[in-house]
Amino acid sequence: MSQMQSVEKQLREMILGLEIGPGEKLTERWIESRFGASRTPVRAALLRLETEGLVGRDGRGWTVSPINLAELEQIAVYREAVEVAALRLTCSLADRSGVDVIEAMLESCDSNTPREEWHRVGMDFHIELARLSGNEFLFRAVRDAMTRLSRARWLEVRDEAALARAWAEHRAILAATRLGDAEEAARRLSAHIVGSRDRLVTSLANDRRGLRARGFAVVAA
Amino acid sequence: MSQMQSVEKQLREMILGLEIGPGEKLTERWIESRFGASRTPVRAALLRLETEGLVGRDGRGWTVSPINLAELEQIAVYREAVEVAALRLTCSLADRSGVDVIEAMLESCDSNTPREEWHRVGMDFHIELARLSGNEFLFRAVRDAMTRLSRARWLEVRDEAALARAWAEHRAILAATRLGDAEEAARRLSAHIVGSRDRLVTSLANDRRGLRARGFAVVAA
DNA sequence: GATACCATTTTGGGATACCAAGCTGGTATC
DNA sequence: GATACCAGCTTGGTATCCCAAAATGGTATC
């Protein structure tokens, strides 16, 4: 793998994994030495991560994008539009066997599954569901939206009950999709996204003090 | 303005203006000498344009993205999702006075208006309409989609009648939006996008021979 | 005449050198 | 003691150099 992709990948993982906190300043020279690469691949990585919304320019320098509550609310509206459109498209397709693969993915999580795996599968559910539509643009839109939400979802205080509810909603969406019931599937997906947004925003707003204590920048709605 | 933005902007304009044809090979060194910049800003520009879908990698090198009929059809579905969502959102807002600004924009085009102005306004109509929603993500999605469509719309063989019909549809969409009639507005916008896609794809498919004669790469649906 | 092979050139990826702008810390002045 | 100012350092932006790999073109062989 080229250094460029390597730096980009590693830096993205550090940001998404909160090893570098939201709001932290980044210098090209620090990244350079941290990953043993020169500035050329570092810049390429930063430019890419900028388009993903994970880093931004702060005057002359670079900053890891803060968690932005207003943005989270807007993303929920955006997600609803593209995910529902993708799901309706999928329901209209003859071959919806991909639903079973996603169902199996959900089933792979049980009480022994580490937290980070739940986190990943919870995002991949939406991404893979969008992929089934066969529309590259809807798929990318969902993937990018989930990437932007990723860090906030880490910060969310997840209780078992909330996770169980989310999984139940996921299964219900899949069931309706398998039957090709677009209306029902769309209704449940919309409700899931809105509910998910509410839980997320509430959780983050309540814990803002704690997050700031960890050095994480959280911008209000 | 920094060279970086300058190279990016100029190169984008050359690509969107078909001064560099779809499918043409690009070398960093050519761009470098063409714009009198060094390779660093050239690379930054290429990376950005890549995320916009205007250039792509061709093995080791760079290529101006060909016109892709399959992609155009997928974009139409994507547009319908995000534009309709934005429009419904706008209809739910109390202040929809922005509609009047867009209407004025439409009215600024008459029979004396140069073709390129019609082209620009035809795209800006959709972009500005999405902006009214206030949702940054829906807005960006529409803007990016229109950017990708831009070249194809140039190539479309536009007859006066088609333009007049499009403008009439635009006005009808605005009228419904002004009244806050989300259902009517959404219905008309959907129909407009689908019709626009059909005209575009048909036109391009019919003229593929002519386009290839101009050295433009057109990938089939 | 076609084809396999090798030398040369070209290309993008990476590294490094240099610069101007902005920030920092300290000092001198009032 | 407060403040204005300046030197030095840090930083991102740019230019240039180097390299490995891929494309190219010519040649020798069959």
Task: Please tell me the distance in Å from A32's CA to the nearest CA on chain B.
Answer: 16
- Residue A92's nearest CA partner among A169, A181, A173, A188 is A181
Task: In whole angstroms, give the CA distance from residue B200 to residue B203.
Answer: 5
Q: Which residues on neighbouring strands pair with residue B61, listed in sequence order?
A: B58
CATH of the domain at A54: 1.10.10.10
Query: Are both A110 and A136 inside the same structural domain?
Result: yes
Task: In whole angstroms, give the CA distance from residue A14 to residue A49.
Answer: 12
Where would I find the beta strands (DSSP E) of A87-192? none
Query: Are both A191 and A112 inside the same structural domain?
Result: yes
**Is B217 domain-assigned?**
no
pLDDT < 50 stretches in chain B: none
**Is A59 domain-assigned?**
yes
- Reduced to 3 states (helix: H, G, I; strand: E, B; else coil), residue A7 is helix
Residue that the structure tokens 């920094």 belong to: B2
Task: In whole angstroms, give the CA distance from residue A87 to residue B115.
Answer: 39
Residue that the structure tokens 């078909």 belong to: B18
pLDDT value at position A210?
86
Selecting from B51, B74, B84 the residue whose C-beta is nearest the C-beta of A51 gives B51
Domain boundary among B65, B81, B107: B65
Query: Are both B119 and B74 inside the same structural domain?
Result: yes
In tens, the pLDDT along A96-131 reads: 999 999 999 999 999 889 989 999 999 999 999 999
Q: What is the ipTM of this complex?
A: 0.92
CATH of the domain at A92: 1.20.120.530
In this model, does residue A190 exceed pLDDT 80? yes
**Is A219 domain-assigned?**
no
Query: Are both A47 and A136 inside the same structural domain?
Result: no
Chain B residue numbers with beta carbons less than 8 Å from the beta carbon of A48 are 47, 51
Chain A residue numbers with beta carbons less than 8 Å from the beta carbon of B138 are 77-78, 81
pLDDT value at position A25?
94
Query: Are both A104 and A153 inside the same structural domain?
Result: yes
Identify the domain containing residue B40 by its residue range.
3-65
Task: In whole angstroms, give the CA distance from residue A28 to residue A64.
Answer: 12
**Is B54 domain-assigned?**
yes
In tens, the pLDDT along B89-105 reads: 999 999 999 999 999 99
**Is B187 domain-assigned?**
yes
Instruction: Give the count of domains, chain A.
Output: 2
User: B42, B137, B197: which to substitute to probe chain A, counting the most A Cβ within 10 Å?
Assistant: B137
Task: In whole angstroms, give the CA distance from residue A49 to residue A97.
Answer: 34
**Is A213 domain-assigned?**
no
pLDDT value at position B122?
96
Nucleotide closest in space to B5 (CA vs C1'): D13
Query: Are both B181 and B157 inside the same structural domain?
Result: yes
* B118, two tokens: 């019609």
Percentage of residues of chain B with pLDDT beyond 90: 79
Query: Are both B82 and B55 inside the same structural domain?
Result: no
Query: Are both A188 and A171 inside the same structural domain?
Result: yes
Query: Are both A13 and A84 inside the same structural domain?
Result: no
For residues A14 and A25, the answer to whether their CB atoms sit within 8 Å is no
Selecting from B44, B77, B82 the residue whose C-beta is nearest the C-beta of A81 gives B82
